[in-house]
Amino acid sequence: MGQRQLNILNGACANMTNLYEACYQWMTERKIGFADMVLPHYVAAAGCHVLNLENKKREFYFEHGQPADLRLHVFFCAPPGYMKTFILKRCLDRNNSLFGSSVIKTAFLGEMTTAGFIGTTEMQDGETVEHTGAAYDFQEHILGIDEFSVITNMMQAEHSKNLDNAMLTALDSGYIIKRLASGEIRYETHLSLFTGSQPARFNLTSGLGRRFDMIYFVPNKEQQDIMRLARRSGKGVMGVNATTQMVYHLTEKLTDDIKRIRQMSFDDSIYTALDEIHIPHFEEPLYEKLAMGYALATQKIEEDFVVRCSDDVKRIWHQEYGWRFKIKSGAQDSQVMQFIVENPGIDEGILKDMLLDFGMSYAETFMAIENLHRQRRIGIVYDNKDSRIRKRHLWPWH
């Protein structure tokens, strides 16, 4: 980029002092709702992705004697029609996405088996032929997968029974080793994964949940109204080209600045704040990476890069803590609980009808209600005025 072009960009986007602000402006100009909720996680993950690639090349940050894996994978848990695919496409898909034409490599995939993700080998004319998988083909990409339940369903299939362990190692250490009768596959992948699923389909097994930064979004009535207006206001909106160019310029600047880092550390303020919200030790890396990626996108990058806590980081952490709590307590149950809290005394039949639009069947809603009642999280009041019908009204437990 020439100096004249850079001066034009700087003049047009003078209020953007860092990559995060430019990305936020990009989202705002395109009338994308709830950018302040989701964007910190995706921009932080993009920063971590670039930093991890550089750390694997130069090995300047270690943990317990090994170069640390600094990737931050993002999982968006929301009902059907509430931004999962939309946000992924706005971040990664095609040239007009947030990072689609930047120096960060991006890709999208759909269904896959263990062979599709990891790769496989077969014997042809007495020789071993290797077929590479997505983890190899996109080893330096941010990879978007539209619906993660496709993968978890594949894990249960006989021909993909090893996909669970393969996914764990791919997302954690990045080392892939798969031994087959026809040969062996062995490589290292550095892909970062952006994906999501509906709460009713949510099923992460064998520690997969600990590998993801979670976004949990079951909108209340006010948020549904905001989304409705945001969808309508986005009609015919193209965005501002100068902002797009500034995002690409600052993304390229980020990758160049990261090359200057010689050592990295976490300030004591990080762990003081983590101790205040009592994060388990096995989840601390997720919160560290959130702070690290956000700092890369908002602060000046020095050769001695120190990750410090801030009010913004604390806000993002508390948000993440709340989301993880809801998912741990049962994503589907939490979805039903939210509707009962917002509509105390709601008739069970009305609740079931409402949740049809949120991806839950009558049977799934009934089971969730029974679980919540057994856990003493809701109370049930029977209305016997009509002898033919015994209505149940649901209240949050006080």
Handedness of CA 200, 204, 209, 214 (dihedral sign): negative
Residue 337 has pLDDT above 60, yes or no: yes
- Rounded mean pLDDT, 282-301: 96
* pLDDT at residue 184 is higher than 80: no
What distance in Å separates the CA atoms of residue 44 and residue 47, rounded to the nearest whole number? Answer: 5
Q: How confident is the model at residue 80 (pLDDT cuts 50, 70, 90)?
A: confident
Give strand pairing partners of 394. Answer: 346, 380
Query: Span 96-109, mean pLDDT?
Result: 90
Contact predicate 264/60, CB 8 Å: yes
For residues 155 and 360, which has the higher predicted lDDT (pLDDT)? 360
CATH fold of 3-325 reads Rossmann fold (3.40.50)
Sign of CA dihedral 214, 67, 178, 47: positive
Query: Which one-letter amino acid corresponds to residue 243?
Result: T
Confidence of residue 140 (pLDDT cuts 50, 70, 90): very high
Range with the poorest average pLDDT among 14-23, 83-92, 287-296: 14-23
Q: What average pLDDT does the segment 111-121 reach?
A: 73
β-partners of residue 176 are 187
Who wins on pLDDT, 47 or 183?
A: 47
So what's the pLDDT on residue 7?
Answer: 54
- Residues written for the chain: 398
Reply yes or no on whether the pLDDT at 1 is more than 70: no
Residues 6 or more apart in contact with residue 371 via CB below 8 angstroms: 330, 333
Give 354-380 pLDDT, tens digit per residue.
999 888 889 989 999 999 999 889 998
Question: For position 28, what pLDDT does the model report?
Answer: 95
pLDDT at 175 exceeding the cut of 80: yes
pLDDT at position 151 is: 62
- Mean pLDDT of the 265-281 span: 95
Residue 65: is its pLDDT beyond 70?
yes
CA–CA separation, 279 vs 324, rounded Å?
A: 11
Average pLDDT score, the chain:
86
Q: Buried (b) or exposed (e) across 336-349, using 16+ Cβ within 10 A?
A: bbbbbeebeebebe
Pick the CATH number of 331-396 from 3.40.50.150, 1.10.760.10, 1.10.3720.10, 1.10.10.10: 1.10.10.10
CA distance 114 to 142: 19
**How far is 34 from 83, CA to CA, in rounded Å?**
10
Q: Check: CB of residue 347 under 8 Å from CB of residue 393.
A: yes
Q: Is the distance from CB of 336 to CB of 352 less than 8 angstroms?
A: no
- For 188, which DSSP code? E
- Arithmetic mean of pLDDT, 107-129: 74
pLDDT band with cut points at 50, 70 and 90 for residue 142? very high
Residue 369, token pair as written in the block: 């209600």
Distance CA 247, CA 16 (A): 10
The share of the chain scoring above pLDDT 90, in percent, equals: 56
pLDDT digits (tens, 9 = 90+) for 205-252: 557 778 899 999 999 889 999 999 999 999 999 999 999 999 999 999
* Start-end of H helices in the chain: 3-12, 19-29, 35-58, 84-92, 114-118, 134-137, 149-155, 163-172, 221-233, 241-258, 268-276, 284-298, 311-328, 331-342, 348-356, 362-374
Could you tell me if 42 and 194 are in contact, meaning their C-beta atoms sit under 8 angstroms apart?
yes
Angle at 102 between CA 191 and CA 73, to 5 degrees: 30
Across 122-126, average pLDDT: 73
Domain with CATH 1.10.10.10 in the chain: 331-396
- Judge whether residue 154 has pLDDT over 60: no
Residue with tokens 């989301």: 323
pLDDT at 391: 78
Looking at residue 264, its amino acid is M
Which residues, in sequence order, are bridge partners of residue 122?
Answer: 129
Q: Residue 181: is its pLDDT beyond 80?
A: no
Q: What is the DSSP letter of 345?
A: T
- pLDDT band of 23, cuts 50, 70, 90: very high
Instruction: Give pTM, 2 decimals.
Output: 0.88
Q: How many CB atoms lie within 10 A of CB 104?
A: 23
**Within the chain, which residue ranges are assigned CATH 3.40.50.300?**
3-325
